[in-house]
Amino acid sequence: MANLLVVAEARDGRVGGASREAVSLAASLAGPLGAEVEALVVGGPGVSADAGSVGAAGAATVRVAEHEALAEYSPEGYTQVVVEHVRGGDYVAVLFSATTQGKDLAPRVAAVLDVPLATDVTGVEVEDGVLVIERPISAGKAFARLALDATPVMASLRPNVFPVTEVGGEAAISAYTPDLDASSWKVRVLERKQTGGGSVDVAEAAIVVAGGRGMKDPSNWNLLESLRDAIGAGAALGASRAVVDAGWRPHGEQVGQTGKTVAPTLYIAVGISGAIQHLAGMRTAKTIVAINKDADAPIFNVADYGIVGDLFEVVPRLSEEIAALKAGG
Amino acid sequence: MNLVVCLKRVPDTETRIRIDASGSVIDPSGVKYVISPYDEFALELALRSKEATGAGEVALLSLGDSATQETLRKGLAMGADRAVLLTGESGMDGLATAKALAAELEGADAPLVLFGVKAIDDDQQQVGPMFAALTGRACVTGVSSFLVEEGKVVCEREVEGGSETVEATLPAAITITKGEHEPRLASLKGIMAAKKKPLEEKPAQAVASRVRVLSLREPSARPQGRIVGEGADAVPELVRLLREEAKAL
Ligand SMILES: Cc1cc2nc3c(=O)[nH]c(=O)nc-3n(C[C@H](O)[C@H](O)[C@H](O)COP(=O)(O)OP(=O)(O)OC[C@H]3O[C@@H](n4cnc5c(N)ncnc54)[C@H](O)[C@@H]3O)c2cc1C
Ligand SMILES: Nc1ncnc2c1ncn2[C@@H]1O[C@H](COP(=O)(O)O)[C@@H](O)[C@H]1O
């Protein structure tokens, strides 16, 4: 029987939320396709300890490829492991998460296996026994429905789009040590630098607090940091290009056409006018809040809720109210 | 050292997208085209690299229709030395595009090939690493700056929660993201010089697309939003709405 394979992502030994979303989606497709869901977790020794969490999201079996050389993401090592795994099985579809890692890995695997790939997918359905994929194009200005004429169908899924349904299942977990020769790899990481501010990337965060030129000065970001902290885990900071280009914020925080595309459950735009290139990166957020002193700012056209006013008054109050809400339970 | 930059012609970021009557293609009328912004960043870094080392050429490569000549001329005006246009369709199948580009560069003296991290029309983010996998090159994605050294390229790359310095053996393919260097504007002199620079046009090696576009649709309209109020006094109501109505907190 041909199965559905989810290439799960483990970071610091934990299987990420995006992988559980992918497993959940696969589980919803398994019935119509008459397939079972298998997850492949790739990582360093000990990664299997957290592999069971994808069982609860609907995977029947979990294979864990453990190797010292896989403790950190290595494009060559991971590509080899996934390619060998797919070749050794019989899959109708192979799903990745469109995280930084998944975006790096999936195209390599697809090219080696010689199958096309749909990236950053926001919809998958079974129609007449065939997978039909929907994905945004032109930064969400349109959506394309696609059929991929190859087996397996390969896709990477945009984080935060597909819900996780806990089915409470238990997966059969089995680990193995792939045969790897790291000395032949042509890419080596020389140094890693953390930019602090927590490890949630703006592209994957469930809630984004984004600031623009209206913030006036980089030192004022303490206001947005307080708001982010009041919201708590899962929140990340974002920025408009104007403030990134001014050197106020790091490039990794930029949201928009030439920055990250985000689809959080809540996007709070503070002192951002809402230029078309900015909207391109965040218009698919579930709920958008805009805080801007200009009632005619285009950001209000996409915002679900807006406050017209001075951010220097509104934001501290918002942090306070949210902190009070969280404290009150 | 010779550098190749792969450029795609795409609708300008301001363009309003209209789906044509067939329902499966974007209506090209009235669309203004530009070099895909990330490809422009790649070209800027390539030109800086050449200026720093003083040796080799920067060549441009694009798969597209004949109108792509105009896009390549813009790249030549920025300072690239020559350009090759492979005429053919560049659709949603990134692997087909990667194969056409790989076929053209087979056997060429091109130790480092640069890509944009993504083309902003189809947003696929795949052609660069696919090209690398097809050609057996080392590959680094999301590079914001790089330095060519003896037999290798050292790249700064953005990752979740930080950055890393990565070294790749040449020949390599790297994909460029937005970094600190603004792409230069073409000078008048550059525009004049570009007219005389070599631009070769030839048919692309035909690779059938295996991605079929069944239909395109506009994004669902966002429900009409509302202004909750003015100033800090509106905050409690906003928080209530976020919690009770949007269930976002
Ligand atoms: C090819 C291309 C690609 C681009 N890519 C991106 C991209 O990826 N991301 C991106 O963001 N932009 C992008 N841009 C830039 C974009 O066009 C805008 O210039 C940019 O988004 C503006 O940033 P901003 O909203 O922070 O600044 P502004 O447009 O200057 O807006 C500042 C806002 O703050 C408000 N404000 C000021 N003071 C206060 C206050 N005290 N209280 C409340 N509100 C206040 C103002 O009313 C105003 O609306 C791109 C442009 C091009 C040409
Ligand atoms: N038709 C094309 N011609 C030349 N280069 C291309 C073409 N399509 C994509 N590329 C390159 O591949 C990068 C990634 O494109 P994509 O995978 O389509 O997002 C682009 O930024 C270009 O550098």
> What is the set of domains in chain A, with CATH numbers?
3-184 (3.40.50.620), 196-326 (3.40.50.1220)
| A327 inside 8 A of chain B by CB | no
Residue type, position A229, single letter: D
- Adjacent-strand bridge partners of A39: A6, A62
* B17 closest CB neighbour out of A112, A141, A301: A141
Q: Per-residue confidence at B227, pLDDT binned at 50, 70, 90?
A: very high
Residue A16, pLDDT score = 84
Predicted confidence (pLDDT) at residue A40 exceeds the cutoff of 80 = yes
> What is the set of domains in chain B, with CATH numbers?
3-203 (3.40.50.620)
If you measure from the C-alpha of residue B135 to the centroid of ligand 2, how many angstroms do you get, rounded to a whole number? 16
Q: What is the ipTM of this complex?
A: 0.94
If you measure from the C-alpha of residue A174 to the centroid of ligand 1, how many angstroms do you get, rounded to a whole number? 50
Q: A200, B161: Cβ pair inside 8 Å?
A: yes
> Which residues, numbered 33 to 72 in chain A, qualify as contacts with chain B under a Cβ-Cβ cut-off of 8 Å?
none
Q: Per-residue confidence at B15, pLDDT binned at 50, 70, 90?
A: confident
What average pLDDT does chain A have?
Answer: 94
If you measure from the C-alpha of residue A212 to the centroid of ligand 1, how many angstroms do you get, rounded to a whole number? 6
Residue A48, pLDDT score = 86
Residue A233, pLDDT score = 84
Are the CB atoms for A86 and A115 separated by under 8 Å? no
> Which residues, numbered 283 to 322 in chain A, qualify as contacts with chain B under a Cβ-Cβ cut-off of 8 Å?
283-284, 286-289, 295, 300-310, 313-314, 316-318, 321-322
* Tens of pLDDT, residues A71-95: 989 999 999 999 999 999 999 999 9
* B19 closest CB neighbour out of A110, A142, A304: A142
C-alpha count within 13 angstroms, C-beta hemisphere, residue A325: 22
Enter the tokens of residue B61: 């490569």
The kind and range of the H/E element at B12 are none
* B229 closest CB neighbour out of A106, A118, A307: A307
A261, B43, B45, B190, B237 from B78: Cα distances, Å: 28, 8, 12, 6, 52
Q: What is the largest CA-CA distance in chain B?
A: 68
If you measure from the C-alpha of residue B118 to the centroid of ligand 2, how many angstroms do you get, rounded to a whole number? 7
Residue A195, pLDDT score = 67
**Ligand 2 contact via B128 beta carbon (within 6 Å):** yes
Q: What is the mean pLDDT of residues A107-134?
A: 97
Q: A314, B19: Cβ pair inside 8 Å?
A: no
The alpha carbon of residue A160 is apart from the nearest alpha carbon of chain B, in Å, by: 13
Predicted confidence (pLDDT) at residue A197 exceeds the cutoff of 60 = no
Q: A143, B217: Cβ pair inside 8 Å?
A: yes
The alpha carbon of residue A108 is apart from the nearest alpha carbon of chain B, in Å, by: 5
Predicted confidence (pLDDT) at residue A198 exceeds the cutoff of 60 = no
CA of A242, closest atom in ligand 1:
23
**Ligand 2 contact via B40 beta carbon (within 6 Å):** no
Residue with the two structure tokens 């914020």: A249
Q: A201, B11: Cβ pair inside 8 Å?
A: no
Q: How far apart are CA A148 and CA A154, in angstroms?
A: 8
Q: How far apart are CA A309 and CA B123, in angstroms?
A: 35
| A123 inside 8 A of chain B by CB | no
Phi–psi pair at A253, nearest 5 degrees: -90, -10
Residue B96, pLDDT score = 98
If you measure from the C-alpha of residue A278 to the centroid of ligand 1, how many angstroms do you get, rounded to a whole number? 7
| Three-state DSSP state, B131 | helix
Give the pTM: 0.94
**Ligand 2 contact via B8 beta carbon (within 6 Å):** yes
- Adjacent-strand bridge partners of A95: A6, A155
Query: What HEC string does chain A produce?
Result: CCEEEEEEEEECCEECHHHHHHHHHHHHHHHHHCCCEEEEEEECCCHHHHCCHHHHCCCCEEEEEECHHHCCCCHHHHHHHHHHHHHCCCEEEEEEECCHHHHHHHHHHHHHHCCCEEEEECEEEEECCEEEEEEEEHHHCEEEEEEECCCCEEEEECCCCCCCCCCCCCCEEEEECCCCCHHHCCEEEEEEEECCCCCCCCCCCCEEEEECHHHCCHHHHHHHHHHHHHHCCCEEEEECHHHHHCCCCCHHHEECCCCECCCCCEEEEECCCCCHHHHHHHCCCCEEEEEECCCCCCHHHHCCEEEECCHHHHHHHHHHHHHHHHHHC
| A211 inside 8 A of chain B by CB | no
Q: How far apart are CA A15 and CA B79, in angstroms?
A: 46
| Three-state DSSP state, B154 | strand
Helices B37-53, B68-78: crossing angle, 10 deg rounding? 40
Enter the tokens of residue A141: 């200005």
* B178 closest CB neighbour out of A254, A288, A300: A254
